[in-house]
Structure 1
Amino acid sequence: MNNNEFIMPTPPLPLTPPEEEKLRGRLSGFKGGYDEGYLRGRLAILNGRSEEVFPVRDIHVMYVASGKGYPYSPLDDAVLCALQKLTAQVTITDVRQNLVELTAAQRPDLVLVLDGMDLPLEQIDAIRTSGIRTAIWLTDDPYYTDFTVKIVAHYDFVFTLERNCIDFYRGLGCPEVHYLPFAAHLEHYRPTTTRSSVNREVSFIGSAYWNRVNFFREILPDLMNYNTVINGIWWDRLPEAPLYGDRIEIGKWMSPQETAVAYSGSKIVINLHRSHIDEVVNNNTLSIPAVSPNPRTFEIAATGTLQLVDARDDMGSFYKPDEEIVTFASPQEMMDKIRYYLTHEEERRAIALRAFERTLKDHTYAKRIYQMLQVIYG
């Protein structure tokens, strides 16, 4: 045989069905690893960017924490962290202290109260009379308006996270009512940028309000066909919960850090708002409807995962639907979108990354406190 002679290559032997299955599994594993690595790498790059720096105001703020403990204490941490970055001096106290004596001794420029449900109103009245500005940031609108209706007129400035409460409070004689939803506290809510210790397809974390129980009951078998985990208190209200063992966790408050890890380790996180009508837990006799996003909207987005959220009228003011966040209007529409995005990795990843970038830019507590101080001081 000379060197120029062509030799026909031996054709590969056909794979047996078990070999084909093994090859498909290997290729799927390679793609899954690539997709996961790409997402974590992009999140790491965005996560490493410097945060926006806001000017520091030469003012002394006395911050009055809710005094309620968990789950309000993480909100206190978030607000306090932002205040310490944006003001010259912060004094920390809570509703159990004698604020009249404290303000008389320290003379802050502003007393900022979170929640304020348990704060004696005569103390706020005395502080205002002494010439110190007061502000309250309400935490649970519109669900406890039976209580807030009695306290808002005692403050110079009222900040609410529910758009529909603005005119309601102004109608009570409050001249300075402003819309200021919560945000993502980046010390608590960040994406896992290395391989996550959690590996879920779908997560839901939240209390089992009755509207959520009824919503999930309709599609629970389909939802649990995926690697789905539900966490939160009161899920013993769901009759089918025992069928799924520890995939429906009952009776546990998760810390922000645990929650962030679970979010970031999930391909899709469901955000289903509580109803403004709930005779068991709400105190909203006027049935003021809720149209604004809950705090979880920003916290989920801050962990770099795709969020499926029930549509609320004001959601588009914060995230672009189908570009930065995905909405649904019914259980079946939610299931259709879960099926779609679990099989369209690039689209899922792109939306999650855009939401994360938008959150870093627009929806941090530093940004919110900066806006609050602009309202109060110009």
Structure 2
Amino acid sequence: MNNDFILPAPPQPLTPAEQEKLRGRLIGFKGGYDEGYLRGRLAILDGRAEEVLPVRNIHVMYVASGKGYPYSPLDDAVLAALQKLTIQVTVTDVRQNLIELIAAQRPDLVLVLDGMDLPLEQINILRGAGIKTAIWLTDDPYYTDFTAKVVNYYDYVFTLERNCVEFYQELGCTDVHYLPFAAHREHYRPTTTRSPITRDVSFIGSAYWNRVNFFREVLPELMTYNSVINGIWWDRLPEAALYGERIEVGKWMSPQETASAYSGSKIVINLHRSHIDEVANNNTLSIPAVSPNPRTFEIAASGTLQLCDARDDMGNFYKPGKEIETFDSPREMMDKIHYYLNHEEERRAIALAAYERTLKDHTYNKRIDQLLTVIYGPA
């Protein structure tokens, strides 16, 4: 019997091309796993039922802003919550004659969004008839030159800016309450299947001058990643044309388009507008803004990591480092972009925690329940 055997040939080292191909394959597998895991977790959270809130036996007349986009999505959100939490809602807008409508409908409460174009003598008549009136201001503190002339006409004033509470109280308003906006789940929710959009970094918003100057400091570095900027006025950015469609200069995106872009981005930048802007603002007193903008909640509701400029009141809504990440300078922003694009598990953990926190605390159902509790007490 021949006991000889043939040893297998030793494995040949991979060529550089084969090594690169294998590396690409492994990266692809890892990316697919990370994407699938995130989408699966988001789908589980998205399927959870919201907390059941009390339905109040009141009739609310909701007066929409009448300004169209971008205010109309806010109107949709507030109206949807009112319809869930009260037994009757009558809808109108600032262009209609409220006095005639009130005579026919007799609501318990008139809630006005924005209200800058509503004839104030109509509010006086409503209050004289014993009907409760409330206004929810949409743009504080950026237009306080205008809102200061309006707030004293209402029984209740709600503002999304903490620093405006004391300002309106000093004007003589007795019932002023801090009530930020929130996320409307019909508009902002994560993509739970494979996303049709794949970006490293997104920013969506108008090119206020503080944003233009901020991004100019780091734009070449930012654009080495798969980064896209969307919004109006970005032709103010001298370098915009160098990046083609990656910097969109003049389009309002619908909430659904925006949510899809957020959810398809690994990181979404939220850079607030400045309270000092001689071109865009009407804030002569330069009341500083410390509260989160509506975009804060909308990004979190879309299931991605939010990288936001630090604001004093942010920690009351999301825990920095756990549910949101913040920055104080363009350099810090870029350092954190680099870090989280290379630490997927940490990025994913923050995105999931933010989404879960939003569903628990920061929906319009929760905000409207707060508003009604202020006016009518606990249900």
What is the TM-score when the length of structure 1 is the normalising length?
0.98
1:100-111 alignment to 2 at 5 Å? Answer: 100-111=99-110
Q: Which amino acid aligns with 2:245?
A: D
Name the % identity: 83
Q: Hey, what does 1:324 align to over in structure 2?
A: 323
What letter matches 2:221 in structure 1?
Answer: D
Unaligned runs of 5+ in 2: none
1:28 matched to 2:27: yes
TM-aligned CA distance change 1:8 to 1:212, over 3 Å: same
| Partner in structure 2 of residue 52 of structure 1 | 51
Deviations 1:158-178 (A, max 9, x none): 000000000000011100000
Alignment partner of 1:201 is 2:212:
no
Correspondence for 1:136: 135
Question: What's 2:11 paired with?
Answer: 12
Q: Are residues 1:181 and 2:177 paired?
A: no
Look up the SS of the partner of 1:103 in the other structure.
Answer: helix
Q: Which residue of 1 aligns with 2:364?
A: 365
Matched position secondary structure for 2:218? helix
Instruction: Render the CA deviation track for 1:209-238: whole Å, top value 9, x for unaligned.
Output: 000000000000000000000000000000
The SS at the match of 2:38 is helix
Per the alignment, residue 271 of structure 2 pairs with 272
Distance 1:155 1:12, change over 3 A: same
Question: How many angstroms apart in 1 are the aligned matches of 2:225 and 2:292?
Answer: 27
Counterparts of 2:202 and 2:104 in 1: how far apart (Å)?
Answer: 49
User: Any idea what SS the aligned residue of 1:229 has?
Assistant: strand
Amino acid aligned to 1:151? V
Correspondences of 1:116-195 after superposition (within 5 Å): 116-195=115-194
1:51 positional shift: 1.0
Query: Structure 2: how far apart are the matches of 1:102 and 1:202?
Result: 48
- 3-state SS of 2:58 partner: strand
Partner of 2:93: 94
- Distance in 2 (alpha carbons) for counterparts of 1:8 and 1:324: 57
Structure 1 residue 10, shift from structure 2 partner:
3.9
- 1:97–1:22 Cα change, 3 Å: same
**C-alpha distance in 2 between matches for 1:254 and 1:78:** 17
CA distance in 2, matches of 1:69, 1:6: 83
Q: Secondary structure at the match of 2:217?
A: helix
Q: What residue is the counterpart of 2:348 in the other structure?
A: 349
How far apart, CA to CA, are the structure 2 residues paired with 1:145 and 1:10?
81
SS of equivalent residue, structure 1 residue 215: helix
- Distance in structure 2 (CA, Å) of the matches to 1:201 and 1:368: 32
Query: Which amino acid is 1:238 matched to?
Result: L
Report the AA paired with residue 107 of structure 1.
R
Structure 1 residue ranges without an equivalent (≥5): none
Name the CA shift for 1:22/1:129 in 2 (closer, same or farther; >3 Å): same
Moved over 3 A (4+): 5-10
Q: Distance in 1 between matches of 2:314 and 2:80?
A: 26
By how many angstroms is 1:13 displaced?
A: 1.2
Distance 1:236 1:243 in 2: 11
Structure 2 residue 375 is the aligned partner of structure 1 residue 376 = yes
1:92-115 CA distance string (max 9 Å, x none): 000011101111221100000000
- The letter of the residue matching 1:103 is I
1:212 paired residue number? 211
What is the alpha-carbon root mean square deviation over aligned residues?
Answer: 1.1
Structure 1 SS opposite 2:87 = strand
CA distance in structure 2 between the partners assigned to 1:205 and 1:78 by the alignment:
20
* Aligned counterparts of 1:237 and 1:249: Cα–Cα separation in 2: 11
Counterparts of 1:187-336 in structure 2, within 5 Å, are 187-336=186-335
Q: Distance in 2 between matches of 1:290 and 1:35?
A: 37
| Inter-partner Cα distance in structure 1 for 2:321 and 2:9 | 51
Report the number of matched residues.
Answer: 377
Query: Secondary structure of the equivalent of 1:327?
Result: strand
Given residue 233 of structure 2, which amino acid in structure 1 is its aligned partner? W
Give 3-state SS (helix, strand or coil) of 2:174's partner: coil
- 2:371 and 2:216 map into 1 onto residues whose CA distance is 41
Deviations 1:74-102 (A, max 9, x none): 00000000000000000000001110111
TM-score normalized with structure 2 length = 0.98
